[in-house]
Structure 1
Amino acid sequence: MQSNNPVFRNSDEFNGRMTNAYGNQVYGGGGAAYQGYGSSTSPDPSTWSVGTPGTQAPTAPMTIDSVVQKTGISLLVLLVTAFATWVMTPAISESMTSNDASKLYAAMAIGGGGAFVLSLVNSFKRVISPALVLVFCALEGVALGAFSKYVDAVYGGGNGIVLQAVIGTFAAFAGTLAAYKFFDIKVGQKFRMFVIAAVFAMVGLSILEVFLTMFGGGLGVNGFGGVGLLFACIGLVLGIFMLILDFDFVENGIRAGLPERESWRAAFGLTVSLVWIYTNLLRILAIMRR
């Protein structure tokens, strides 16, 4: 199966470019080897090939358990770094100094910028790197911790807005997963193309907003006004659609017998989707509290 999702389309295994221990190509749909060296249809054991010396043994396949485990590790790293950033950055108050404010903004800028760069690296990397996925989670946690602290202090009013956003994010995850399974949602090619195009458009608008803000302008896309509310709602819906693409990848990957390392690719995709949902949901709650 060929995927248009940039997180998954560079996976050799997911896109039908797998090889078995003997170097024969394996097709994701059925996991059967193309007949060639190292494969045989003869029932006589004496005619079976044993392959070439030095070939690697087949790796363990990706399973639901491996995906859950890797996703749990990724989210744990993200939450730990987010909590550490919240605790270690200065408290936001009217009496805070410019130096204290700069530390908070630096955490958001460095964490967010580093996470964005690594998200591109992980998305277009053919062989997924667990270390890079975890570094991405750590940097994303730094950015989320600082951003959440800022929103809570400025717009939350001490009413637990961050906790509500976290609960809402996992509720959205559970609801989307239930709908995907119970309604047997099938992901088509047009749906994939629409979601990926919309996500890239949103990212492009956000980057444009950052540059315009640096020069004293802005469209309000990332803000907390009416335009910001509109784009936050659109972003929340896109986050749900991104989760559906993630579930589709996991389901097809397990069916195709992808190697276990692809569980990290699934964990990365799920983490990106959950962060996307959380940030947009937090903005919506903040705007509604104003």
Structure 2
Amino acid sequence: MNSLTTAKGGVQRGVYPSGAPQGYGDPYAGYGQAPAAAAGGDRPMTVDDVVAKTGMTLGVIVAFAVLNFGIAVFVSMGLALILTAVGAIGGLITVLVATFGKKYGSAAVTLIYAAFEGLFVGGISLLFTGMTVGGSDGFVLIGQAIIGTVGVFLGMLFVYKTGAVKVTPKFNRIMTGALVGVLVLALGNLLLAMFTGSNPLRDGGMLAIVFSLVCIGLAAFSFLSDFDAADKMIRAGAPAKMAWGVALGLAVTLVWLYTEILRLLSYFRSN
């Protein structure tokens, strides 16, 4: 990430590159005018801020994931399942608050999200590796999912750095449409499972495998938008606290990617 703002010609802070898109719904659109964007005594954001805040966020996720996993193994599976549901719902509500409540860049919102999502990740990891595949080699499956997630992250960072895929307003519109489509399909599948017992997108069959591959692909390309957000905000001299917003976006994408990879691996293992 250290090379993001130097890989494109050394653009001065506070000024977007010539011809770069501005203001396509990004929370940092107002920071492209001048270094005065960091008004109010808040220093400009740096790559170190993004790395540090993201690291703290992921650390909280891992800690709460281990906590819930331990509760399931040593205390009560029922309690762990309740905490998993609380984590899923709480994480969703927290992201909605950050998005629509104009809390982008709030350390409290990002860390609360991390705590909720950690509970969810710990519980869902146990479900996919325990109940789904009979507990065989569960930790190996989790390790493979983590390695896959890190690999995709680094690969997409390389893709962004080299400019192999350009993040443009059109790219973001296509990504938004695809994400909405996946969300509608997932909600429809959930309602179908609740009322009919049929679960075609998550039953481990060929359609479920294809759907998981699509989700993994979308999560991977979502990293490009996250990197572009961090890149432009650093170039524009956005306030340092906005690094918490970048950390939130990266954490959301990482958790989604990890769960989809783990789900896909569980399909193959159970089959």
1:145 maps to a residue whose letter is G
Q: Deviations over 1:50-74 (max 9, x none)?
A: xxxxxx7431111100000000000
**Displacement of 1:285:** 1.0
Deviates further, 182-191 or 66-75:
182-191
Check if 1:150 corresponds to 2:150.
no
Contact residue 229 and residue 283 of structure 1 kept, 8 A: no
What are the equivalent positions in structure 2 for 1:214-229 lying under 5 Å apart? 214-229=194-209
Question: Aligned partners of 2:84, 2:206: CA distance in 1, in Å?
Answer: 23
Matches within 5 A, 1:182-261: 182-183=162-163, 185-261=165-241
Cα RMSD for the two superposed structures: 2.2
How far is the alpha carbon of 1:100 from its aligned partner? 5.1
* Distance 1:33-1:79 versus aligned 2 partners, 3 A rule: closer
- d(CA) in 2 for partners of 1:127 and 1:210? 29
Structure 1 residues not aligned, in runs of 5+: 19-27, 35-55, 92-98
Give the total of aligned pairs: 244
Structure index of larger Rg? 1
Change (3 A) 1:216 1:106: farther
2:92 corresponds to which of 111, 116, 123: 116
The answer to whether 1:81 aligns with 2:64 is yes
Deviates most, 277-286 or 56-65: 56-65
Q: CA deviation at 1:33?
A: 6.5
Report the CA distance shift for 1:64/1:32 in structure 2 as closer, same or farther (over 3 A): closer
* Residue identity in the other structure for 1:182: T
Is the partner of 2:196 in helix, strand or coil?
Answer: coil
* Contact in 1 for aligned 2:69/2:122 (Cα 8 Å): yes
Give the % identical residues: 31
TM-score where L is the length of structure 2 = 0.83
Structure 1 CA distance for aligned equivalents of residues 164 and 47 of structure 2 = 17
Q: Give the helix-richer structure, 1 or 2.
A: 2
**Which of 34, 40, 51 is the aligned partner of 1:31?**
34
Question: Offset at 1:209?
Answer: 2.2
Rounded to whole Å, the distance in 2 between the matches of 1:184 and 1:256 is 23
The answer to whether the 8 Å contact 1:243/1:270 transfers is yes
Aligned counterpart in structure 1 of residue 247 of structure 2, from 264, 267, 271: 267
Could you tell which deviates more after superposition, 110-119 or 216-225? 216-225
* Cα distance between partner residues in 1 of 2:49 and 2:235: 14
Structure 2 distance, partners of 1:71, 1:32, is 23
The equivalent residue for 2:12 is: none
Partner of 1:140: 117
Matches within 5 A, 1:12-27: 14-16=28-30, 18=31
Would you say 1:65 and 2:48 are equivalent positions?
A: yes
Distance in 1 separating the partners of 2:189 and 2:81: 17
Q: Any stretches of 5+ residues in structure 2 without a counterpart?
A: 1-21
